Structure 1
């Protein structure tokens, strides 16, 4: 198998002109091709402008501004699809935000005490952020609102600001839930249908150069659908026939997903009737059709074709069932543990995790320095410096270095908009339509990238700040200076002084994934299952292993793509390792295809061949772990085997991985 099949490597090392900006910066400034979420656009415009209108009507514009600030937090945090997750994503962080602003208000104007309090809050916020998505947003709002409370003269008594901010978040939640009676199960159903469409796209690309990218999109779609369905099933399974049906429809797509790599390795396109049948299944899922169509598929001849044909016919039967039997719906592919169990695990992992403590300490150091600067040094008081530090150091937003630069550029762009608004629009009722327009830009720009999101949020915060401290156009210059100071603090004390910024562990992460691939081969072709085990236990364990390794591969790819946005040496090292990431994905695909062929008539490999292949993979993992760069891997030969064996393509992919490493 040729070793020339590699994805485009977005290394960012070459520039068309010596004075051209670096590629990592251009990647951040290039708008993503995501569609505009029009419902979120309308919701944001209403959520931030309506409180202002009420505040002006009651002659309390400061109160309206605080409610709008709470609504802004809700708009930023509303990123989930399913309504139950959206409740968690909006409501839970609002509680942490209310606590944060209360603590900040209590230490307002207290000098060193305020510095110490915000530093401690930053430590807690950073550690909380390592738990998960909802906890990350909660930690962010805890710190952001504490910074706002400690930096702005908010209305008294101390509990006024927390109530108003929470009211803004609850207003966003109310607007979000208006569509629940009409679209209650639509996000889950749409996710299942999207998985079928992603599968059809992958089958369309089978045998061609676009297959790898389509397969990755399919993996992401499948993961998202399972997260939605199983997360909801933890509460309502057994009481919701519709949910049971969606889970059954999702389960039967798994054999089709497994058959796709086998179809791809045939080396030629599939008959158009097969992807068309899968797209018809997607429409049936969305429309709730129960009448199965008459399939007209070509006769299968090879094991791969038989696997695809059998999986497709079974999927057609299950998708069109009106009420699948509960006992036939297997949720062992990822049913979440009870909430209490997950909470205890999260707290234990947070307290014992070195990464959690490192991020918390790094955030605490930068926030402490920023707050000391604005509180004690004779400069204009500003909460914008620690606010900038918080946003730039957010761990799941991307590269710290590139975020600092993009934050500065985005803030500059946002300040241009804010300057025009503050200079030309009179304060008062005109703020309401202006806020509606500016707020609507937040979800639209957020879908395009971090710099665009910053440019949209900046004028909104400045306009709300002006309603609280009445500085008008005089806000513009200090905020730009504050942003640059915050970015500088983050770059020096949150990036340059930390060894992990310069000595990335991406090679270790890749080596762990190669080890996982070796274990996946063992799981797929290991010894016969225990005859006393439950029926289907071996297959379920193998499917769990397949889902786990594909999830891990998605995480590794995301981590490498994040590292590619770093300056040298991290970005250059990630670019050098990138072809091996692609090679490992293909090794896993080839293993899945081999297992599918064995399931449908191909001869299983000998135990000695399986052992030799796993030893080769572990040897490759050890080389990756000990080599500082791919060119030190060497060109150790892969053990020879029977070329007619189903593991032949897997051995070829392992050899290709060695070849790619040697060439880069």
Structure 2
């Protein structure tokens, strides 16, 4: 090749390796950093001062685990996101302690395996349930193996105290720069304003190649706002005026989102004037001010008329500030049980149970054979396996690589710190620093592992045990091997069950939304329950986003695992186009009372394509 024609050849990494090297971006969560610094370290110091070091270690571990779940969002959402896993962890501590005290090695392994099966099925329900399942198993292993002199109930209370302290900090401390209005609703205001910004971005991208990505961003913003506003009220049963205003502002964004989606579906550019209204609404939400005059878009098409009507409704709702239906997810016990014990939950539960049980059995066998020498923390092995076996933390090989690299780095760093820091005050300070770094380290699993490794090793030494960096590395590598083996074992039923289950739920939601739009519209706009339509629309887009996430993770597995979900991405893409078309049909029906021939033809084309793609992917048709 001549020098003139020579080109740089870019190496394309395999998906499983590319995912391991990918890092999330975003601003530093200073509020979470502050809470982390005020949580584990001070709790441990207080315990040392009153000579209850063991309970202080348990409380610090609980605060650390809560810090991992301390993500951006509203205060009300944090009650469930932090509180539910904390309760599960306290229950795990209780069960693990009494099982460890009164059961032999075989019986204890059976108990832990059963907990793994239960927690694995729970984790298929959703992110909060997954966090609860993780803390249940980690705390059970700690309760069974950590040498703490206090009784099980005292350990459980210490665990609740540690997580509860971080949750209290989350509810009480204001966020920097959030003193506009009632600071307790800063997360809600930011989430609702983000919806209006996403609507404006979608309108600006209409008719361009970026429209699909902007529509996905709008779905994510709506999901985030829905979660931020869903949860316990922070004042009274009826809610404060600020809460009612936020609910009205969120509800007013739904018809705007619907109109913007219909305009993007049409594929024609929209005048800049149309996006200015949502931008001003976003500023009004964020600054807690009146909307002021809003520029009206052209009313030359059904979707533009719907956008104009939605802007007028939003301006009126902003001024009145009356509460409205949040169109929240209505998942009953039957839906939750189906997720936990369906195909996805069963596969997930079996793998978690096998990994947790096998690692507990191997760890106890090594412990009783005195392989551990002076180190008695056999519970590290099953606790490590819990994090490694969780597919919502990333693809299997990516998790293993990041965990191994992070553990080695963290153990080496701690060995250096332990050689120079005074004890216990230097180690307590190290715990505080690491707890503050946990919210930042969650951007990459290897970084999170390194920070947590240093923190845990420091806690072990404060508890009176010797430096354990070498055993920590060995046990982590052993857990990596166990999870890799179990992750590639054949399981009863069809592989890729979690992806297929998510896609089946999304297909059912899309079908319900389409049926409502087509069957519920026999006349002009106003004869139908739009609130029900918006609820179905939200569920359709939300379940599609969840399916897309599961598909993307599965696609980054090794080829031996990724092949089991081949074709599912194409099915999800067709479902998204179908839901977008359904939204466009709904807006058109509101305006004219009947479907245009182009809409009918597009629906028929998409339904036929969906049937073909489902057959190629080996998926059954959803129930009507």
* Pair in the same fold by TM > 0.5: yes
Secondary structure class of the residue paired with 1:361: helix
CA contact (8 A) 1:522 1:614 kept: no
Secondary structure class of the residue paired with 2:596: coil
2:255 equivalent in structure 1: 255
CA contact (8 A) 1:202 1:218 kept: yes
Which is further off, 208-217 or 63-72? 63-72
**Cα distance in 2 between the residues matched to 1:352 and 1:511:** 15
- Give the unaligned 5+ runs of structure 2: 1-8, 620-624
Indicate yes or no: 2:57 matched with 1:57: no
How many Å apart are 1:558 and its aligned residue? 0.8
CA contact (8 A) 2:424 2:462 kept: no
Indicate yes or no: 2:523 matched with 1:523: no
Matches of residues 451-530 of structure 1 in structure 2 within 5 Å? Answer: 451-472=446-467, 475-498=468-491, 506=499, 513=506, 517=510, 520-526=513-519, 528-529=521-522
**Cα distance in 2 between the residues matched to 1:357 and 1:576:** 22
How many Å apart are 1:71 and its aligned residue? 1.6
In structure 2, the CA distance between the partners of 1:541 and 1:566, relative to structure 1 (3 Å rule), is same
How many Å apart are 1:237 and its aligned residue? 6.8
Matches of residues 428-443 of structure 1 in structure 2 within 5 Å? Answer: 428-443=424-439
How many Å apart are 1:345 and its aligned residue? 4.1
CA contact (8 A) 2:328 2:535 kept: yes
How many Å apart are 1:468 and its aligned residue? 2.5
In structure 2, the CA distance between the partners of 1:500 and 1:306, relative to structure 1 (3 Å rule), is same
CA contact (8 A) 1:121 1:143 kept: yes
Which is further off, 50-59 or 25-34? 50-59
Matches of residues 220-369 of structure 1 in structure 2 within 5 Å? Answer: 220-232=220-232, 238-265=238-265, 267-290=267-290, 292-297=291-296, 299-319=298-318, 321-324=319-322, 329-331=324-326, 333-334=327-328, 336=330, 342=332, 344-345=333-334, 348-349=337-338, 352-369=341-358
Q: Deviations over 1:443-502 (max 9, x none)?
A: 1011x1222222221111111122225221xx1121111111111111212433336785
- Give the unaligned 5+ runs of structure 1: 1-14, 631-664
Matches of residues 2-21 of structure 1 in structure 2 within 5 Å? Answer: 16-17=10-11
**Cα distance in 2 between the residues matched to 1:560 and 1:25:** 17
**Cα distance in 2 between the residues matched to 1:288 and 1:73:** 34
How many Å apart are 1:352 and its aligned residue? 5.0
Secondary structure class of the residue paired with 1:172: helix
**Cα distance in 1 between the residues matched to 2:219 and 2:99:** 48
1:546 equivalent in structure 2: 537
**Cα distance in 2 between the residues matched to 1:508 and 1:132:** 13
CA contact (8 A) 2:189 2:246 kept: yes
2:122 equivalent in structure 1: 128
How many Å apart are 1:207 and its aligned residue? 1.7
Q: Deviations over 1:146-178 (max 9, x none)?
A: 211222211234444333333222221222222
Secondary structure class of the residue paired with 1:396: helix
Q: Deviations over 1:111-159 (max 9, x none)?
A: 3233233223323332333444443323222211121122221123444
**Cα distance in 1 between the residues matched to 2:567 and 2:125:** 31
- Pick from 137, 143, 146: which aligns with 1:143? 137
How many Å apart are 1:217 and its aligned residue? 1.0
Secondary structure class of the residue paired with 1:300: coil
CA contact (8 A) 2:521 2:593 kept: no
Indicate yes or no: 2:379 matched with 1:383: yes
**Cα distance in 1 between the residues matched to 2:344 and 2:211:** 36
Indicate yes or no: 2:401 matched with 1:405: yes
CA contact (8 A) 1:62 1:467 kept: no
Query: How many residues align structurally?
Result: 596
- Pick from 590, 600, 603: which aligns with 1:599? 590
CA contact (8 A) 1:259 1:304 kept: yes
Indicate yes or no: 2:64 matched with 1:77: no
**Cα distance in 2 between the residues matched to 1:528 and 1:128:** 39
1:95 equivalent in structure 2: 87
CA contact (8 A) 2:571 2:613 kept: no
How many Å apart are 1:435 and its aligned residue? 1.9
Indicate yes or no: 2:390 matched with 1:394: yes
How many Å apart are 1:315 and its aligned residue? 2.0
CA contact (8 A) 1:56 1:429 kept: no
**Cα distance in 2 between the residues matched to 1:516 and 1:67:** 42
Q: Deviations over 1:549-583 (max 9, x none)?
A: 21122122112111121111443675765355334
**Cα distance in 2 between the residues matched to 1:167 and 1:296:** 52
Secondary structure class of the residue paired with 1:427: coil
2:16 equivalent in structure 1: 24
**Cα distance in 2 between the residues matched to 1:411 and 1:368:** 22
Q: Deviations over 1:384-411 (max 9, x none)?
A: 2111111112243233343223222222
In structure 2, the CA distance between the partners of 1:510 and 1:361, relative to structure 1 (3 Å rule), is closer
1:655 equivalent in structure 2: none
Q: Deviations over 1:72-109 (max 9, x none)?
A: 12222333733233233333433332332233333447
How does the TM-score come out when normalised to structure 2? 0.85
In structure 2, the CA distance between the partners of 1:144 and 1:195, relative to structure 1 (3 Å rule), is same
CA contact (8 A) 2:342 2:501 kept: no
Secondary structure class of the residue paired with 1:496: coil
**Cα distance in 2 between the residues matched to 1:269 and 1:612:** 23
Indicate yes or no: 2:421 matched with 1:425: yes
1:647 equivalent in structure 2: none
Indicate yes or no: 2:164 matched with 1:165: no
2:6 equivalent in structure 1: none
- Pick from 610, 614, 623: which aligns with 1:625? 614
User: Aligned Cα RMSD in Å?
Assistant: 3.4
**Cα distance in 2 between the residues matched to 1:515 and 1:612:** 22
Q: Deviations over 1:164-204 (max 9, x none)?
A: 33322222122222237952222222221111111112112
How many Å apart are 1:516 and its aligned residue? 5.6
